Chains A and B, each alone.
Chain A
Amino acid sequence: MMTNPNGIVTQGQFSFLPPLTDTQITAQIKYALSRGWALSVEYTDDPHPRNTYWEMFGAPMFDLKDPAGILMEVNNCRKTFPNHYIRVMAFSSVRGVESPTMSYIVNRPKNEPGFGLVRQETDGRNIRYTIHSYATDKPEGERY
């Protein structure tokens, strides 16, 4: 059980809000499409803050412009990985950006054990810090 005010991993744009409904997810997809961004769905069972590369649930959907179709991919991913973290990401290919422009979590495990902080005492009062995910003590696919 995480002790932050929400009790959950708070990565992404909307983790402080109640879980997003399909209507809300679709509205955000429409916003991304209106800006010309490509959407993608990614999942993981290793939510370490510096785990950049979540698994791709297929490549970014550069050619899919139908919000309902993209929501279907989101829901396919949820069905396949009901107890993983799943996020929707948007990518801009515009020169000067060429980077993600949105990222919000749409699915998460029922229980989120969170992270421990490992302090390695070194010279003087110096400490080296490691953020350790409790879930990753188990192998991939067996974590949540």
Chain B
Amino acid sequence: MANQLSNNETMKEGADRYKAGVLPYKKMGYWQPDYQVKDTDLLAMFRITPHAGSDPEEIAAAVAGESSTATWTVVWTDRLTACEMYRAKAYRVEQVPNTGEGTKIEAQYFAYIAYELDLFEGGSIANLTASIIGNVFGMKAVKALRLEDMRIPVAYLKTFQGPATGVIVERERLDKFGRPLLGATTKPKLGLSGRNYGRVVYEGLKGGLDFMKDDENINSQSFMHWRDRFLYCMDAVNKASAATGEVKGHYLNVTAGTMEEMYKRAEFAKQLGSVIIMIDLVIGYTAIQSMALWARQNDMILHLHRAGNSTYSRQKNHGMNFRVICKWMRMAGVDHIHAGTVVGKLEGDPMMIRGFYDTLLDDHTPQQLEKGLFFEQDWASLNKCMPVASGGIHAGQMHQLLTYLGDDVVLQFGGGTIGHPQGIQAGAVANRVALETMVMARNEGRDIWNEGPQILQDAAKWCGPLRAAIDTWKDITFNYESTDTADFVPTATTSF
């Protein structure tokens, strides 16, 4: 489809181009089907739902225009600049499989757009996003719009710090190798006093978890002010560390109303010897980058809770895919990000989630349409960001979790630890035994996908807490259909 147009239908030239008035975006130079993508270009791919009867190429050109240099009418001042270079170029449009005539979904199109590197300020997610998602999502001309993926050129990646610590150094600091890390979110998430809250932290860590965690909305409320929480939690962390001989941590959430307050809380966490602090996605891209710089300066692991993301990442036709957030957050410099569980209570198609994990962890991700990875991405030695799986998971799913998510992940069993019938320590033991048993079995070459339930049953014969966990949650699954699914399906699928 893309190459059916000849060049003279795409762009007017010279005086003709700059005559006052309104021109279609295609004719203003924002549609260039012959454009040769450069290695230094930033690429974006949007899912476009045009109004019935409108030309998808024109809409793609409009998105390119409005996310770069265009306004609604011709301006002669373009001619004072190297405007042809600054224009983003829509260079490919193709219909999304299984949409349009003969399907239940109205026609959607994938639009590929190339952006000149000089359009963007180095080291600024805010500047990047102000262009790419700043204006275009409200355009009347397009019925719905979703940013599906981006290819960030190496030259641009090199202007970002990247994860403050990274997966490799995090493991070295924690002295934990060759297995997923284990965590839990303190529950109930609201209402506990600092002293009671620290009790949950202590029990979970002493029982065998590596991390405990504040929830996204635990900041400094009337029932527990932040300094109380930090003081009690760090007593719990250090006491559990002494009781087990292991490095332990609690993600102290420093999210606050101002940067000044966040720095103050982060400094206190450092003073108390915490290995990790936490922020929420809702603090904004610039605040996240600032905290990542602080974390690098202060030898701190930086955990990011993706609070708020589903407001724009869940619906398939509008907003932005979470894989784009993963890319931006790896650039912005966080060390942990919640990226889905596949089997838990929150949204997640297995292949899509694998795509998020690859985006966070790989040195280089090839194009893999079945995982929703539309572009090859070289990560230019940027540190790796640890994915966190949290929400409705329990020990009985360990074989599935390890198969889907691999070793480089924090498995967070909040309810699955604290809700254990024999207590929090027993809940932690159940999870740790299930994890170590499954890692050992996998390394021994056993088929854990199929033998997993039996492997857990065998361990439950000598581990009472695991027995109780399996009996309590044996039938709990969250089988709802995902909304964010692949548009391309590999021809042969085996295990997932």
Contacts and interface: CB of A to CB of B under 8 A. Distances in A.
B238 A114 contact: no
B241 interface: yes
Contacts of A115: 241-243, 245
Contacts of A14: 436, 439-440
A125 B465 CA distance: 36
Contact of A127 (B171, B176, B235): B235
Interface string B404-445: 000000000000000000000110010011001101100111
B178 A103 contact: yes
A83 interface: no
B243 A114 contact: yes
Interface in A94-118: 95-104, 114-117
Interface string B162-206: 000000100110011111000000000000000000000000001
Contact of A101 (B178, B245, B384, B425): B178
Interface in B250-277: 271-273
B245 A11 contact: yes
Interface in B212-266: 227, 231, 234-235, 238-239, 241-247
Nearest to B363: A96
B246 A28 contact: no
Interface residues of A, number: 46
B348 interface: no
Interface in A1-30: 2-5, 9-11, 13-18, 24, 27-28
Given A27-B444, A117-B239, A13 B245 contact: no
B177 A103 contact: yes
A131 B433 CA distance: 25
A48 B242 CA distance: 9
B143 to A, nearest CB: 42
A129 B231 CA distance: 12
B175 A103 contact: yes
A138 interface: no
A10 B244 contact: yes
Contacts of B432: 16
Interface of A is mostly: loop
B245 A9 contact: yes
Contacts of B391: none
A52 interface: yes
B241 A49 contact: yes
Contacts of B245: 2, 9-11, 47-49, 114-115
A91 to B, nearest CB: 10
A125 B231 contact: yes
B319 interface: no
B496 interface: no
Given A10-B244, A103-B175, A126 B271 contact: yes
Interface in B79-124: none
Contacts of A16: 208, 429, 432-433, 436
A62 interface: no
A100 B241 contact: no
A27 B443 contact: yes
Interface string A31-67: 1000000000000000111101000000000000000
A5 B425 CA distance: 8
A131 B242 contact: yes
A2 B177 contact: no
A90 interface: yes
B444 A31 contact: yes
A129 B436 contact: no
A13 B244 CA distance: 14
B174 to A, nearest CB: 9
A131 B238 contact: yes
A15 B246 CA distance: 11
Contact of B443 (A31, A119, A131): A31
A17 B440 contact: yes
Contacts of B243: 2-4, 114-115
Interface string B122-142: 000000000000000000000
Contacts of B384: 96
B372 interface: no
Contact of A11 (B175, B437, B444): B175
Contact of A13 (B179, B206, B231, B444): B179
Interface string B146-173: 0000000000000000000000100110
Nearest to A131: B242
A126 B444 CA distance: 47
Contact of B247 (A49, A89, A116): A49
B238 A129 contact: yes
Given A13-B177, A102-B177, 10 more contacts: A10-B208, A10-B245, A13-B439, A17-B433, A31-B443, A95-B363, A96-B384, A101-B178, A103-B176, A128-B273
20 contacts: A4-B243, A5-B465, A9-B246, A10-B244, A11-B175, A11-B246, A13-B179, A15-B436, A17-B433, A17-B437, A24-B440, A27-B443, A47-B245, A49-B241, A96-B168, A102-B177, A115-B241, A117-B238, A126-B231, A129-B235
Interface of A: 2-5, 9-11, 13-18, 24, 27-28, 31, 47-50, 52, 89-90, 95-104, 114-117, 119, 125-129, 131-132
Which 9 A-B pairs rank lowest in CB-CB distance, beginning with the nearest? Answer: A9-B245, A31-B443, A102-B178, A129-B238, A117-B242, A115-B242, A27-B444, A96-B363, A103-B177
